[in-house]
Structure 1
Amino acid sequence: MAGQSDNGVDVEVLVIGAGVVGIYALYRALDAGFSARTLEAGDGVGGVWYWNRYPSARFDSESYTYAYIFSKELFDEWRWKEEFATQPEIESYLNFVVDRFDLREHISTGEKVASAVYDEAGRAWVVTTEKGTVVRARWVISATGGLSVPHYPEIEGLEDFRGRAYHTGAWPHTPVDFADKRVAIIGNGPSGAQLLPAIVDTVAAVDLYQRTPTWTTPLNNAPISDERQAWLSEHFDEVVKILTTSPSGFLHEPAGKFSTADSPEQRQEFYEKIWRSPGFAKLTSNYYDITTNREVNLEFCEFLAGKIRSIVKDPVTAQRLIPTDHLFGAKRPPFVANYYESFNEPNASLISLRETPIVRVDATGIETTERHREYDVIVYATGFDFGTGALTRMGVRGRDGLDLSTDWEDGPSDFAGFSAHRLPNFFFPGGPHGAGGGNYPRYSQDQVDWITDTLVYAREHGFDVFEPTEAQQDAWMTMIETLAPQSIFSAEHSHYYGANVQGKVRKFLLNPGGRGKLHEILGEMTSTEDYTGAFTQSAPVA
């Protein structure tokens, strides 16, 4: 970059990552009057929506609730086609936003960060990319997110396969030809469940390898009508208020009642309504006690099991698709279309890895304990190194010798899910312990807004270093550890505990206190001396 400014840095705010959160962080920093730049590893903007371009990749939050809500003009200028948009439309939208607010000139693509080292004497971060670009910045906002490092299964022989192999989180930009191919999909989470129905009518044969079944339910997508669009625009202020204050960050109407208000027959009728509801409404519009009353959750699970048995014609396959190790919502439930129906096609099969584990991948296919199957294409729909993956691979070294790659080996320690003791002036919105489940961009917007306000406060009061104290971090982590067992997402074999990555220590990676606890703690901090106490060093007076 160009020569350093008078305060010894190339740029005041450096954003790492040009995904949904990073774009917003860059916009807020520039709008607040800071000099700011973004380094993005990909050759285009979009983050997860740049890399995840497999067939039928789409939102499972309503498009207009996942999108930016900081500008009514933007809200009205972009017209979403569907309640749940597909990847091409999402990527187009994010590029539209970048150009609409003149952000592109501040974004350097193809610049993957190799190291970020804090210079204590200079009170600045020195960030180096794999291309050799070096940037000195006063503040760093690492918006790398929790879903940015694809995880490949720990299976012998992955490199031996001579056919085509892809990960849903690193999909090629050129279309993949599935026509008349023999395909294996390893993984039945959201990406695997979306991909199967998208290709089943094209391929010669497709086998979905399932380790653990999940409660997959219909997305119930629909086009956005002119009437719906007009209502959203007319009620924009009301929409924003709900999205910025509700625990889930959705517009879904709550049930307004506990399960005990209904008879068993009425509950079955209610479950039918929930089955037909869109996306996450199956959680947010369900009975108030669906996440706290084990008996009512079990009853809902039995209702869902009945749906699976009624859709899937082969009873053995149907039974294999019914979870037995977790309640509804304990793992992130996929919301897709025609997933169960796909197994009725004669060219689709379900392979249970509980019954017949994979032994190895070889040159021509996959060998399980049952037999060998040959494939032309293998798709790894095995998710990500959630929460910490990108941060611990970025060469982050903070104050007093902190090395994030080793310091977080036993699980991350942080404050408010976006900052940490001994990481002065370094923020990571969307990182571990940031979200509590629900609509991720709404949580991340809260974090970016607080970070930006903090940078403005530092500028106005002559501070140039912010770092949460050890006591503040310890109090936050005590809350995480105390409330984690009560969280709906408390299945320790889920990716929310890092359980999908072999050898990763199982620690809860969400905020079990939810959005309310985040707002409460940040509000308490900014209203007391604890806030000014986190600014540990002031800029020298000229």
Structure 2
Amino acid sequence: MLNSKITSEEMETIKQSYTEIFEKCNNSQTGHQYRTVKQSTIEVPAEQRKEFWEKLYAEPGYAIWIGNYKDVLLDKQANNLISEFIAGKIRERVTDPDTAEKLIPKNHGFGLKRLPLEDNYYELYNRDNVHLVDIKSNPITRVTATGIDTVEAAYDLDVIVYATGFDAVTGSLLRMDIVGKNGVKLKDVWSDGPQTYLGLQVRGFPNFFTVLGPHNGATFCNIPRCAESQINWLTDMFRFIRDNDVQVVEPSLEAQENWTELVYETAAKTLFPQVNSWFNGDNSNVSGRKRTFLLWAGGNLSYRDKCNQVRDDGYEGFLMGYRRAK
């Protein structure tokens, strides 16, 4: 993460640049100020590539994830190269080689899962009072009154933090127990994965909008910036609804099916569906969960263009019921 103090002068410069900063964010694929490099990872000479990655790694924030070469999240060979670079950085920061190897992901490439930002996380493993236990090779057998027992040893602990995960994107919506027309429940409609139109509405649930739900352009983006454009778009839609005495809005079945299929086709062009992650709805805590991609992977600009096209075509794909004349 590379957090650092911001001087009052620097803060004033940032405040004076808000308009420019927001404009850069709104005109990027991820809602950040970063821009993907148009070059391919493979076509860049190795030394030049390493120099560029060293520069990105030394910058704060998501620079190395979304300000990288255009194919690091699309091409397996390119992703292998950046993954090995990151592995080398972990080996540099962790003094014990065995611990370093345990900390290097082996089941996914760099950036193919949600990228956590950290400050001095790896350096913590260099402390004498910090120990890493790999519970895949040394499984937990039981939790006791004094700590945790594994196959190989017992560990006395004062506090145990259970990192059990969360049900991303759809979990909060499904827990609301939302009911649509004819008593149909959203959790039943989405039992094999979400189906949406623009990630904004679901067939059979009129007047129900999901601004940050599955298949939505703001969910896999810099949410405050990308959600803002959606709120503006919905505001225009609600003006249309008000001005035209519309009472009911829901998507057509065809529009929903086409959009859902486009979501999956777009994701398939990336490496994201090839790993187990919450991007794909993977959750061992939810029995029977079908693996489907939950996000719009096409970027902020293409999503916004699609929404604007729908608006300009008279909200094509939305079925609207109008107030009856008295």
Offset at residue 505 of structure 1 (A): 2.0
Question: Please, which runs of 5 or more residues in structure 1 have no aligned partner?
Answer: 1-218
Residue 472 (structure 1) aligned to one of 242, 250, 255: 255
Residue 77 (structure 2) aligned to one of 272, 295, 313: 295
Within-5 A mapping of 1:516-527? 516-527=301-312
Q: Distance in 1 between matches of 2:45 and 2:9?
A: 36
Structure 2: which amino acid aligns with 1:366? I
Deviation digits for residues 253-276 of structure 1 (CA, Å, limit 9, x no counterpart):
554643356421121111111110
Equivalence for 1:496:
279
**Does residue 374 of the first structure (1) align with residue 159 of the second (2)?**
no
**Does residue 486 of the first structure (1) align with residue 258 of the second (2)?**
no
Equivalence for 2:194:
412
Change (3 A) 1:436 1:488: farther
Residue 228 (structure 2) aligned to one of 445, 467, 491: 445
Q: Distance in 2 between matches of 1:484 and 1:261?
A: 24
Residue 65 (structure 2) aligned to one of 283, 290, 313: 283
Equivalence for 2:322:
538
Structure 1: which amino acid aligns with 2:298? G
Offset at residue 523 of structure 1 (A): 1.8
Question: Please, which runs of 5 or more residues in structure 2 have no aligned partner?
Answer: none
Deviation digits for residues 238-289 of structure 1 (CA, Å, limit 9, x no counterpart):
2222222210111135546433564211211111111101121112221222
The alignment partner of 1:302 has SS state of helix
Structure 2: which amino acid aligns with 1:523? N
Q: Distance in 2 between matches of 1:424 and 1:438?
A: 26
**Does residue 344 of the first structure (1) align with residue 126 of the second (2)?**
yes
The alignment partner of 1:360 has SS state of strand
CA contact (8 A) 1:420 1:467 kept: yes
Offset at residue 432 of structure 1 (A): 1.3
CA contact (8 A) 1:436 1:512 kept: no
Structure 2: which amino acid aligns with 1:433? H
Q: Distance in 2 between matches of 1:323 and 1:533?
A: 42
Residue 178 (structure 2) aligned to one of 369, 372, 396: 396
Structure 2: which amino acid aligns with 1:500? N
Q: Distance in 2 between matches of 1:260 and 1:227?
A: 41
Offset at residue 430 of structure 1 (A): 1.1
**Does residue 512 of the first structure (1) align with residue 297 of the second (2)?**
yes
CA contact (8 A) 1:308 1:318 kept: yes
Residue 98 (structure 2) aligned to one of 309, 313, 316: 316
Change (3 A) 1:223 1:442: same
Residue 383 (structure 1) aligned to one of 147, 162, 165: 165
Q: Which range moved further: 507-516 or 356-365?
A: 356-365
CA contact (8 A) 1:465 1:538 kept: yes
Deviation digits for residues 402-452 of structure 1 (CA, Å, limit 9, x no counterpart):
201222121111111121111111112111122463312223223222222
Offset at residue 346 of structure 1 (A): 0.8
Deviation digits for residues 38-84 of structure 1 (CA, Å, limit 9, x no counterpart):
xxxxxxxxxxxxxxxxxxxxxxxxxxxxxxxxxxxxxxxxxxxxxxx
Offset at residue 535 of structure 1 (A): 4.2
Deviation digits for residues 315-348 of structure 1 (CA, Å, limit 9, x no counterpart):
1111111112211111112110111100011111
| Higher relative strand content | 1
**Does residue 258 of the first structure (1) align with residue 43 of the second (2)?**
no
The alignment partner of 2:160 has SS state of strand
CA contact (8 A) 1:413 1:420 kept: yes
CA contact (8 A) 1:366 1:373 kept: yes
**TM-score, length-scaled by structure 2:** 0.91
CA contact (8 A) 1:367 1:373 kept: yes
CA contact (8 A) 1:221 1:278 kept: yes
**Does residue 326 of the first structure (1) align with residue 111 of the second (2)?**
no
The alignment partner of 2:306 has SS state of helix
Q: Distance in 1 between matches of 2:171 and 2:201?
A: 16
Q: How many residues align?
A: 323
Change (3 A) 1:373 1:498: farther
Structure 1: which amino acid aligns with 2:324? P
Deviation digits for residues 336-391 of structure 1 (CA, Å, limit 9, x no counterpart):
01111000111111111221233333433323333332322111233310011111
Structure 2: which amino acid aligns with 1:288? K
Change (3 A) 1:418 1:291: same
Q: Distance in 2 between matches of 1:437 and 1:488?
A: 15
Q: CA RMSD in A?
A: 2.1
**Does residue 228 of the first structure (1) align with residue 13 of the second (2)?**
no
CA contact (8 A) 2:221 2:299 kept: no
CA contact (8 A) 1:254 1:286 kept: yes
